[in-house]
């Protein structure tokens, strides 16, 4: 259990990812998808800590802004954001910001 999870969420992040209700691969997905889902189980909480710390330090940001500030890849960030939202760690500001491609993306903040 990470310090962030222990301090702020009383182990909720670890419990959430260990629960049967939170699955990253569907039953009909190929074996490789299940293997990939299993391999990220230990990585996701670490990414969440980095994203949370980034939002705490820099304030509301979009996916690309978070990726730029943290060094995480865009896909590593966008996969964690909805999971963190379900945990009540972060939420949407209701605003959009320009992405790296010039399109608008949602802005996230710590709750």
pLDDT (0 to 100) of residue 93: 98
Q: What's this model's pTM, rounded to 2 decimal places?
A: 0.71
pLDDT (0 to 100) of residue 90: 96
What CA–CA distance (Å, rounded) separates 101 from 111?
A: 27
Higher local confidence (pLDDT), 62 or 13: 62
Tell me the pLDDT tens digit for each residue of 44-101: 888 999 999 999 999 999 999 999 999 999 999 999 999 899 889 999 999 999 999 9
pLDDT (0 to 100) of residue 101: 95
Higher local confidence (pLDDT), 4 or 96: 96
């Amino acid at each position: 259990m990470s310090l962030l999870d222990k301090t702020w969420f009383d182990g909720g992040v670890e419990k959430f990812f260990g629960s049967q209700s939170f699955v990253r691969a569907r039953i009909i997905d190929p074996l490789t998808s299940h293997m990939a889902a299993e391999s990220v189980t230990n990585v996701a909480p670490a990414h969440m800590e980095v994203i949370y710390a980034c939002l705490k330090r820099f304030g509301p940001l979009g996916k690309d802004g978070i990726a730029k500030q943290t060094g995480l890849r865009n896909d590593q960030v966008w996969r964690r954001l909805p999971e963190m939202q379900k945990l009540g760690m972060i939420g949407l500001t209701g605003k959009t910001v320009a992405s790296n491609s010039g399109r608008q993306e949602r802005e996230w903040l710590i709750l």
